[in-house]
Amino acid sequence: MQIDWHGPSVLGIAIFLAIGVLFGFAARRWRTLKTLAVVAPLIAALIPLLYFVLEGNVSACTGSGSTFRCTEVSYASTWNVADWILVGAVVLLTVAPIVSTGLRSRLPSVLAAIVLAGLIAPNLVFMYSWVLAGALVLGAAIAGPLSKGTEPTRAG
């Protein structure tokens, strides 16, 4: 059995969600992971965005003879306005764990995880690259916000 990492596969989504949930429960126990849980969703959302903006899928060629020129067309340049709004909303929602830390409440992360599921699920073919970011927001919601205290977490 192979996992299709370049397209929507049920097993791939299940693995990403399991990573997010396990990461959330581990972050409840260890403060270092909880700190990472605050910024990891944003990083996981920005990496695919940067890839699609910088990487090209086809070349656009014009002219002939000595004026023949080819330029690479990025994936993102083929998106329409609705696609950009969807991607922008997903990236903005991954900031929720940072907001949760500022408010010292889980609510922004929980609401963002719910909204992300509602945005990604119906647009799965287009939004598959952001499933991990959504799963990490779920993990951050499980972990909860950073506490104000500087005491180390108990190991036992």
Does the pLDDT of residue 92 top 90, yes or no? Answer: yes
Distances (CA, A) of 114 to 84, 92, 129, 130, 133: 20, 14, 18, 14, 13
User: Is 151 within the bounds of a domain?
Assistant: no
Q: Residue 75: inside a domain, yes or no? A: yes
Contact 16, 132 (CB under 8 A): yes
Q: What is the pLDDT of residues 113-156, one digit of tens each?
A: 999 999 998 988 889 899 999 999 999 999 988 776 555 556 65
For the chain, give me the number of helices (H) and strands (E)?
Answer: 7, 2
The HSE-up count of residue 131 (CA atoms within 13 Å, CB side) is 23
What is the total count of domains within the chain? 1
For residue 1, pLDDT over 50 is answered with no
pLDDT, average across residues 97-123 = 93
148 in any annotated domain: no
Q: What is the pLDDT of residue 6?
A: 56
156: Cβ contacts below 8 Å, ≥ 6 apart: none
In a domain, 104, yes or no: yes
Owning domain of residue 126: 10-143
pLDDT tens for 19-74 read 999 999 999 998 888 889 999 999 999 999 999 988 877 777 888 878 888 887 88
Over the stretch 10-19, which tens digit does the pLDDT of each residue have? 787 888 999 9
What's the CA gap between 141 and 138, in Å, rounded?
5
Long-range residue pairs from 151-154, CB within 8 A, at least 24 positions apart, any chain:
152/31, 153/29, 153/30, 153/31
Residue 5 lies in a domain: no
Instruction: With respect to residue 123, please indicate whether it lies within any of the assigned structural domains.
Output: yes
Overall pTM surpassing 0.75 (yes/no): yes
- Look at residue 111 and tell me whether its pLDDT is greater than 90: yes
